Amino acid sequence: MTASALLPIIIAVIVLFVVAGSVIGLVRGRRSKVRYPGTRDANDPVLAPNQPNVAGDETGAPTAVAEPPPLLEPDQAVEVPEVFEQPTVEEVPTETPAPVAGRLQRLRERLIRSNNVLGKGLLALLSSDRIDENVWDEVEEALLLADIGTEPSLELVETLKDRVKVMGSRNPEEVRSMLREELVKLVDPTLDRSLNVDRKGGKPAVVLIVGVNGVGKTTTVGKLARVLVAEDKDVLLGAADTFRAAAAEQLATWGARVGVPTVKSDIEGADPASVAFEAVKAGIEQEADVVMVDTAGRLQNKVGLMDELGKVKRVIEKLAEVDEVLLVLDATTGQNGLNQAKVFSEVVRITGIVLTKLDGTAKGGIVVAIQKQLGVPVKLVGLGEGPDDLAPFDVEGFVDAILN
């Protein structure tokens, strides 16, 4: 057979192989399993449509399995989200707060180092051989420089004058005892300095923290959480300072250190009243003992911001009573702190003062001035940057620290 005769046969064989291959591929394609997101496999022991939607554990006991998503038709468009690696979150180790008793002793030692200039100066003046009007003027000046205030200073000087005349002695121990008694009276041990942080009516105690910028409100909330945890309180924090950058994260970090949850918004500039509301709501649902709400720093001369603070309090009261409104003041601001206290007391009813940075000033007399003006007790004092450098205010301990 010639080559020209074989050519048509060869072409026919090639075409036959091509057609046969196409048919085989088509058959295999129809038999293959085409899976769409959300479809179920008949051979899957968990998601098979004719089997109950349960799976067994290692012992064979059935365990609940979430319902699968609805079946999708092959012609439905499926949007597959892009997958990102989840960011790593650094865990904050839980710490054990220092007991309150040990904290008080440490704070007293720090207060002695920072405020004993006033006490020693008064003792030196009152123990001199001759006490005349010049000496009394110096005593009054020392009290004023300590920010005790004009009226309390005059009252103390007049009382001391009368007692010195009656005593007729310059014995240092007697002078010290006399001065201690009068200072304790001036600081006023009759004021109720306890924190109202007990559950009542099936709801948590709510503590609202207020103050101007830079006084350490968020830090105070974190430190107070440690105090309450040390007293076996179940605490929840609310980050209603939504304007200062990273304020919510800062508060959450403080809470995480002692195992306390924080309710916060991820939206910068969110409504503070809404965050406060959600925090109290969560506290009620979780049966917390105390809910503490941190607020944004407000300048006392900004009417709009102060009105907003009143709104936060009113919104909270739709769910629960606000048991404490603590005003945080920087002790180093002196009489300016007194002006702040007056304005805040007009917007929200202040129930107590937290005096921070008392170790950085010899003007501890601001305690007396604030209490005299507002009738509001100093309930907590901060004397350092450490996490446990906040403690309940103790009148006699404060006076002893000044005079030692």
298 is known to lie in a ligand binding site: yes
77 is known to lie in a ligand binding site: no
297 is known to lie in a ligand binding site: yes
- Do 184 and 294 contact (CB within 8 A), yes or no? no
Q: How many CB atoms are located within 10 Å of the residue 229 CB?
A: 21
234 is known to lie in a ligand binding site: no
296 is known to lie in a ligand binding site: yes
How far is the C-alpha of 385 from the C-alpha of 387, rounded, in Å?
A: 7
358 is known to lie in a ligand binding site: yes
294 is known to lie in a ligand binding site: yes
357 is known to lie in a ligand binding site: yes
94 is known to lie in a ligand binding site: no
Q: Note the Cα 322 to chain centre separation in Å.
A: 16
Q: Which two tokens stand for residue 181?
A: 């008694």
Q: Which two tokens stand for residue 5?
A: 């005769």
217 is known to lie in a ligand binding site: yes
212 is known to lie in a ligand binding site: yes
Q: Which two tokens stand for residue 259?
A: 């195992």
- List of long-range contacts for 398-401, beta carbons under 8 Å, 24+ apart: 398/111, 398/187, 398/364, 398/367, 399/180, 399/183, 399/184, 399/187, 400/108, 400/180, 401/108, 401/111, 401/112, 401/115, 401/116
218 is known to lie in a ligand binding site: yes
- 3-state class (DSSP) for residue 70: coil
- Do 257 and 387 contact (CB within 8 A), yes or no? yes
How far is the C-alpha of 270 from the C-alpha of 264, rounded, in Å?
A: 10
216 is known to lie in a ligand binding site: yes
- Do 107 and 389 contact (CB within 8 A), yes or no? yes
35 is known to lie in a ligand binding site: no
| C-alpha atoms less than 13 angstroms from C-alpha of 131 in its C-beta half-sphere | 22
188 is known to lie in a ligand binding site: no
Annotated binding site for GTP: which residue ranges? 211-218, 294-298, 356-359
Residue numbers belonging to the annotated binding site: 211-218, 294-298, 356-359
